[in-house]
Structure 1
């Protein structure tokens, strides 16, 4: 089954529904990446039995980082490669120039080429000048290895799936869990996938007005016993022995992609500093960035746009002040939103059985809540 996922009523509780609210900053209205104005997210989920008899548990997720033509007016971006054990595309140009010029795609490791082609076709359809009167285009694709559950050798994600996800992209609440690129992902031995969260940064103290920082993660990392929720090592209590024994990802190899958006006028250097703080959010959930786990964080501003054809030799731009507490609030927002997005991916995901009988169970959210806060959840956690 091929499915384009759009925002629907949630069936599983989110962490906050059970009293698990990381950090101190308030979330945005939908507590997701799309709380940043102009950002849209779309999923296509591939969840079916292939003609070969092998389960297909994969998909594509796209993020449209800002409104309008991204190629002609490029959002400023900063990249942090935490551990480069990955097969992403387009990152060297982002690191060099500090801009994006296409939507972002997430998929499985062996489908990066298909996603790249889908983004190229999307850019060519809207920009007849590409490759004719101007240069080419730099699509950005991130990946995680979903081969524990998915027939990854089948190369089931095609360029048209990326175009379908772009067509379905919405600024509504982001569907989480085993959707889109997250369909076959596993974190800490449990089914995971896509998670999202946001934070409001009060830039003018006490006024209630400010900027938004939104996060979206593709979570596919972590040792089974290391799962930590609000400082409580719940993985040691919750993880069944069978998960420890059977899950290839119990070794921690897998990867995590963190995408961070803001409507604040930050420059590329500052955005890289914000992206770097995503590592702290991952660590709070129990991630230790293993040798075989590729961790990447990308942050961008919807406010700053760099024209493809500048009007003159000098471009004026504003940036965040770094001689006061404001920049630390953005760091805090990135940490908290990343942490909650990882937990959200686990809380939302349904159990999935995939190739070779591998099974990723759903995290028992109610038990997690009782372990973390037994006063408010007095029923025995055992």
Structure 2
């Protein structure tokens, strides 16, 4: 496995968790299916907030759209109830329907009692049509099922894997990336993790560790040579934490994702769908939405333990820090890819970047 950004000496704020990944949040599992054959460069990513065994247990959740030129299904129900259940899938733009149906079929096969009522899974996308034959039917239900079935904790592969396989970022090879932060709160220590499917940003905007690098890396930029508008693509971010939060506080975390993206240089593009989901795995058993019994209509109550609003700033900072590092991890992991119609996405020249970071004066000129 290639060294990650932090291992190369790139400096970031905050203290990472054990694996510096969203999977540092206890119970979170991530799985991939990667498809690369002929003109296909795509795949599926599955994020399971509570693993496969407790998919029906709601998490407090919120979402935020920085720019709506994209899709994240199920968010109307997240907004209504403040709750997230089922595996979250990320894929390419034209495979959302396939993956949505695949989640329903997976639940019906593995948890038929849950499928007797409605299922509204969250499926999100970014556009990989520069490298991938996006109009093909390459992504099939079994690929989504494989991502769910193989989702695991621990270290997470990054770069051209899963739904990120055919993505580009700052006109370099993009894809999937993750990072985490530990947040101390009184006697407790919580984890905030972020996962990004990074497919955004124009080359000239790129900044790493506070150093503007884009115009010093302007060569070898075939994507923006008439193929796509600068900055086009999209970014999906999923933030998770074991800190006890209200749904509205999860939404507040989702709103902090753009601060982490901005640290890497982007100002946002009209042609980039930037959609973010945040959830808390605390308070298991609350926020249920099962069919009510007669006794439950008058007797049932639920309670949420949560961090008071005035004490959330360290968690907000953790989101920005983890998102920034996750994006840079994507770029560091990237390897040059040639895809549909001979389109090429170059790897970020890591050695040149490290040299510019060691001597930032030329980059600041």
For normalisation by structure 1, the TM-score amounts to: 0.88
Contact 2:171 2:221 survives alignment (8 Å): no
Determine the structure 1 residue equivalent to 2:339.
354
- How far apart in 1 are the matches of 2:176 and 2:223? 22
Q: Does 1:15 align with 2:5?
A: yes
Contact 1:31 1:197 survives alignment (8 Å): yes
Deviation at 1:233, TM superposition (A): 1.1
Determine the structure 2 residue equivalent to 1:320.
307
Contact 2:43 2:164 survives alignment (8 Å): yes
Secondary structure, aligned partner of 1:273: helix
Q: 1:242 to 1:197 in 2, by over 3 A?
A: closer
Q: Does 1:307 align with 2:288?
A: yes
Deviation at 1:68, TM superposition (A): 5.7
- How far apart in 1 are the matches of 2:33 and 2:177? 15
Q: 1:293 to 1:62 in 2, by over 3 A?
A: same
Deviation at 1:129, TM superposition (A): 2.9
Deviation at 1:91, TM superposition (A): 1.5
Of residues 254, 263, 278, the one that matches 1:275 is 254
Deviates more, 1:312-321 or 1:168-177: 312-321
Deviation at 1:368, TM superposition (A): 1.0
Q: Does 1:181 align with 2:163?
A: yes
Deviation at 1:96, TM superposition (A): 1.6
Deviation at 1:18, TM superposition (A): 1.7
What is the alpha-carbon root mean square deviation over aligned residues?
2.0
1:329-375 Cα deviation digits (max 9, x unpaired): 00000000000001111111111001121100111112112212239
Determine the structure 2 residue equivalent to 1:285.
264
Deviation at 1:313, TM superposition (A): 3.3
Contact 1:18 1:366 survives alignment (8 Å): no
Q: Does 1:126 align with 2:110?
A: yes
Deviates more, 1:174-183 or 1:119-128: 119-128
Of residues 40, 51, 75, the one that matches 1:56 is 40
Contact 2:203 2:214 survives alignment (8 Å): yes
Q: Unaligned regions of 5+ residues in structure 2, if any?
A: none
1:241-290 Cα deviation digits (max 9, x unpaired): 54364263452111000100000000100010011000100111111121
Secondary structure, aligned partner of 1:154: coil
- How far apart in 1 are the matches of 2:200 and 2:125? 12
Q: 1:318 to 1:192 in 2, by over 3 A?
A: same
- How far apart in 1 are the matches of 2:228 and 2:329? 19
- For these two proteins, the number of residue pairs brought into alignment is 355
Contact 1:62 1:105 survives alignment (8 Å): yes
Deviation at 1:202, TM superposition (A): 1.0
Q: 1:67 to 1:164 in 2, by over 3 A?
A: closer
1:1-382 maps to which residues of 2 (within 5 A)?
10=1, 12-23=2-13, 25-49=14-38, 55-67=39-51, 69-70=53-54, 72-130=56-114, 132=116, 135-204=117-186, 209-243=188-222, 245-246=224-225, 248-249=227-228, 251-305=230-284, 306-309=287-290, 312-323=299-310, 326-374=311-359
- How far apart in 2 are the matches of 1:119 and 1:300? 19
Deviation at 1:78, TM superposition (A): 0.9
Q: 1:247 to 1:78 in 2, by over 3 A?
A: farther
